[in-house]
Amino acid sequence: MTEVAFGFALLIEFLIKVVTDRFMFTPNAYIHSVWNVIDFFILAGLLVNALCVLKFIMLFDATRTSFQSLIISGASHILDATVLAVLYMIPYAVWGLNLFAGKMNTCNDNNVSGLSDCINKYTTTVYGNAFSFVARQVWDHLLPSTMFSFDNFKSSLLILFEIMSLEGWIDAMGVATSITGTNQQLSTNASEYNALFFVIYNLLGGVIILTLFVS
């Protein structure tokens, strides 16, 4: 039972990561992380074992009956739990849209105050101050490790779907707590109370969704 639960958790995590970041050919693709590759091989091994067990189950009438009552007949309940999980995310997606839309952008030049000033060029450095060059100021989303946005309902729902797997929520929360206003440059810990959105979502989501699937 423990192995089944572990395999199911790995499968859900795999699906979430592939849906949000794609499997390959994207900057944050699933296979770009060595840990994801390891998880993939573990999941593949578990699926092979599951197929072997399934073949064994089909050999006996008693096991076939139990399998049908637990898995096949229970598929509708699993689907119901999945739908309820999505419905749980929708209010938070709308809430996040109202809280953060248009406020998570930042300029790559930290010396500007907002969008109106982020229109020229600036001098930046790499390797400390060893090398400097002129770059164009760009007003865009800050991407610590994953792509996310609350600027529209689809993007809001997508990042919440990823956060449900406990991936990327620290980065999203870090940007949210740096909000200073619409079209204003981000400032670290300027809006610390925004962290409550992610904490509440994770705590309640973990309890509600786990309870749904266990039930």
Quick: pLDDT tens for 100-126.
Answer: 888 888 887 778 888 888 888 877 777
Q: Is residue 11 within 8 Å of residue 43, measured between CB atoms?
A: yes
With respect to residue 67, please indicate whether it lies within any of the assigned structural domains: no
The per-residue pLDDT for 151 is: 84
Residue 65 within any structural domain of the chain: no
**Which segments in the chain show pLDDT lower than 50?**
none
Tally of domains within the chain: 3
What is the pTM (predicted TM-score) of this model? Answer: 0.60
Q: Tell me what pLDDT residue 37 has.
A: 78
> Both 27 and 99 in a single domain?
no
Q: What pLDDT is stored for residue 202 in this prediction?
A: 84
Q: What CA–CA distances, in Å, run from 108 to 77, 101, 137, 170, 192?
A: 48, 19, 6, 21, 22
Strands 131-136 and 105-107: unpaired
Per-residue pLDDT, 173: 87
Structure tokens of 207? 């309890």
| pLDDT score recorded for residue 145 | 53
Distance CA(101)–CA(182), nearest Å, equals 8
pLDDT at position 18 is 78
Residue 66 in domain: no
Which pLDDT value is given to residue 82? 77
Query: Domain limits at 194?
Result: 74-105+145-214
* Per-residue confidence (pLDDT) for residue 83, from 0 to 100: 81
pLDDT of res. 174: 86
pLDDT of residue 29: 76
193 in the same domain as 97: yes
